[in-house]
Amino acid sequence: MYQLQLTESLVPGQDDDTILESTVGGLLREVAGLHPDAPALLEITMEGDTGRAWSYGELLADSEKLALALSTRYAPGERVTVWAPNIPEWLVMEYACALAGLTLVTANPGYQPQELRYVLEQSESVALFAVESYRGNPMAEIAVEACKGLSAIREIVDMEDPEALFRHGEQAPALPAVAAGDPVQIQYTSGTTGFPKGAILHHRGLTNNARLVFARGRVTQGSTWSNFMPMFHTSGCGAAALGCLQTASRMLLFKVFDPAVVLRQIEAEDVAALIGVPTMLVALLEALEQEPRDMSSIKISISGGAMVAPELVRRVRQAFGCDFETVYGQTEVSPVVTQHFFDDDIDDICNNVGQPMPQTAISIRGVEDNKVVPIDTVGEICVQGYCNMIGYNGNPEATAETIDAEGWLHSGDLGAMDARGYVRVTGRVKEMIIRGGENLFPAEIENVLAEHDTVAEVAVVGLPDDKWGEVVACFVRPETGADVDPATLRAHCREHMAAQKTPTVWFSVGEFPLTGSGKIQKFALRDAHAAGKYQPL
């Protein structure tokens, strides 16, 4: 840990590591040159079986072959959208686009025509790379419908058809020089508070961030990593994929997240590390209780992307017998800005999101005046450093609202920092509940409720109220075999929190509306409640 003694909520960028002028394609060439025979990729099929495999030399050969093919059809700087589940071709496209100087645009394979059309049009993509179908979603049909009338789209390519994927066009094949600051991807924000914006990310941000996350997680060279995070998200194609690359690790790429399959493959393939949002870790623990497996190979489990309850941390450490590190970040910062150290105290791991990453400055600022607040004071979490996005695609107003004149990226998340520089996330600026003029923070309430043994998952939101302005509402997914008992949960809250923080409206849900990366969409809960879908208990 960094030895800090702060008087205000600002940690300058720490220089315990350096930022490299690296590119995605350049790193693949470097690692394949050093470790050509090292295992790089193992496909886990829809059925949960092992499929095709690549060494780093083979992965580079396929990626360069595809990059040359793409260079005959597109000009450097053009955007192409990849719309597919976690298949090996996704990773090959990621490397090939980077080598060819193209900007890869990611799209959730669950999209319907209107959503896909929005991404294609907003990103100014010139091609769509897709698959026939996925989990009942007729993607080939949707692709045709979404592209109708989009004159910029020159072709729709079936990624699983090698002839179509590697087809050469009319231009002479040639790969351009690519710089670390060049755009490499447009990632659409997860949409927990509304429709997504396209964050333009550069090579330098994604490559260095992944390297630093793996370094703090002590992932050793040649490890086996379980990647079931969606590749259309920065955690899947960024932190996981590019972290594996820079440690010459083998990545198990799961086409679908099936907890029982993940556990079986962890046991069979000696998986040493994994990353998953809390909803995924909860599902893994539930599956492990139903069918015990040998989890002794796991050395590190990393989670973030949503509130990580203390009880979940303890359960994962006990069930897997591994270190646990919480990360905090968002798409716009490539994506990780804080992370625990392996030897952090259990109380820190359970109750905050760690210290800043190297060369990343973090401050907590007043929402109204943008001034750095005193330590242990709630404000907006702001980030400054190499990791910040170039901006929002085609949206200079939103970019200016997010990145201020001094280069601080305003996350939209509320948090506080202690004198050691450890950060605690309390909620979203837009999720903050104002009850009778008092600011209440959902994450604090959710952490308390998640400790109760009848609660599997929980989301706290503010609902409109004539008297108070907003009241605290709690949506609970109960543990298997349990019921949601408001009286019991209310008493539990009162034991640990002030009365005004205790929810007054309670709902039981069978499942939550989730983003593609597994985060609970609180705005969707509010909208569904307004439409009469949920009735209070």
DSSP string across 519-534:
-B-HHHHHHHHHTT--
Q: What is the CATH number of the domain that holds 310?
A: 3.40.50.12780
- 3-class secondary structure, 325: strand
On whether both 247 and 358 belong to a single domain, the answer is: yes
Rounded CA separation 63/70 (Å)? 10
Exposure of 396 in the CB half-sphere (CA atoms within 13 A): 0
- In the chain, pLDDT over 70 holds for what percent of residues? 98
Q: Identify the domain boundary among 359, 388, 417.
A: 417
On whether both 413 and 437 belong to a single domain, the answer is: no
Residue 3, domain member (yes or no): no
Angstrom CA distances, 74 to 80, 115, 438, stand at 9, 24, 55
Is the Cβ–Cβ distance between 86 and 231 less than 8 Å? yes
Is the Cβ–Cβ distance between 378 and 439 less than 8 Å? yes
Q: Identify the domain boundary among 361, 384, 417.
A: 417
Rounded CA separation 392/225 (Å)? 31
Supply the pLDDT for residue 59. Answer: 98
Q: Which tokens hold the place of 478?
A: 């109960």
Q: Residue 175's domain spans which residues?
A: 20-417
Q: What is the CATH number of the domain that holds 519?
A: 3.30.300.30
Query: DSSP state, 170?
Result: S
Cα 82 to the chain's mean position, in Å?
A: 17
On whether both 156 and 244 belong to a single domain, the answer is: yes
On whether both 442 and 365 belong to a single domain, the answer is: no
Is the Cβ–Cβ distance between 482 and 454 less than 8 Å? yes
Q: Which tokens hold the place of 494?
A: 């009162």
Contacts of 296 (CB under 8 A, 6+ apart): 321
Residue 203, domain member (yes or no): yes
On whether both 207 and 279 belong to a single domain, the answer is: yes
Rounded CA separation 407/400 (Å)? 10
On whether both 408 and 461 belong to a single domain, the answer is: no
On whether both 401 and 457 belong to a single domain, the answer is: no
Residue 425, domain member (yes or no): no
Q: What is the edge-to-edge ordering of all strands in the sheet holding 300-303?
A: 50-55, 39-44, 250-254, 224-227, 273-275, 300-303, 323-329, 336-339, 355-356
On whether both 104 and 189 belong to a single domain, the answer is: yes
Rounded CA separation 443/431 (Å)? 10
On whether both 396 and 461 belong to a single domain, the answer is: no
Q: Which tokens hold the place of 300?
A: 């590190």
The pLDDT tens digits of the residues spanning 70-109 come to: 999 999 999 999 999 999 999 999 999 999 999 999 998 9
pTM: 0.87
* Helix boundaries (H) for 8-112: 24-34, 56-71, 88-100
Question: 310 pLDDT band (50/70/90 cuts)?
Answer: confident
Residue 536, domain member (yes or no): no
Residue 493, domain member (yes or no): yes
What is the longest distance spanned by two Cα atoms in the chain?
71
Sign, CA dihedral 243-245-251-254, equals positive
Question: 486 pLDDT band (50/70/90 cuts)?
Answer: very high
Phi and psi, residue 296, nearest 5°: -70, -15
Residue 408, domain member (yes or no): yes
For residue 179, pLDDT over 90 is answered with: yes
Rounded CA separation 226/267 (Å)? 11
Residue 78, domain member (yes or no): yes
Rounded CA separation 494/31 (Å)? 55
Supply the pLDDT for residue 256. Answer: 97
For residue 495, pLDDT over 70 is answered with: yes
Query: DSSP state, 220?
Result: P
For residues 454-461, average pLDDT: 95
Question: 419 pLDDT band (50/70/90 cuts)?
Answer: very high
On whether both 410 and 435 belong to a single domain, the answer is: no
Residue 211, domain member (yes or no): yes
Residue of higher predicted confidence among 120 and 517? 120
Rounded CA separation 511/520 (Å)? 10
Rounded CA separation 263/382 (Å)? 37
On whether both 405 and 454 belong to a single domain, the answer is: no
Supply the pLDDT for residue 190. Answer: 60
DSSP string spanning 82-133? EE--S-HHHHHHHHHHHHHTPEEEEE-TT--HHHHHHHHHHHT-SEEEE-S-
Sign, CA dihedral 382-384-385-389, equals positive
For residue 451, pLDDT over 80 is answered with: yes
* Helix boundaries (H) for 101-231: 113-123, 139-147, 162-165, 203-216
DSSP string spanning 388-450? S-SEETT-HHHHHHHB-TTS-EEEEEEEEE-TT--EEEEEETTT-EEETTEEE-HHHHHHHHH
On whether both 480 and 525 belong to a single domain, the answer is: yes
Look at the chain and report how many structural domains it folds into: 2
Q: Identify the domain boundary among 417, 452, 482.
A: 417
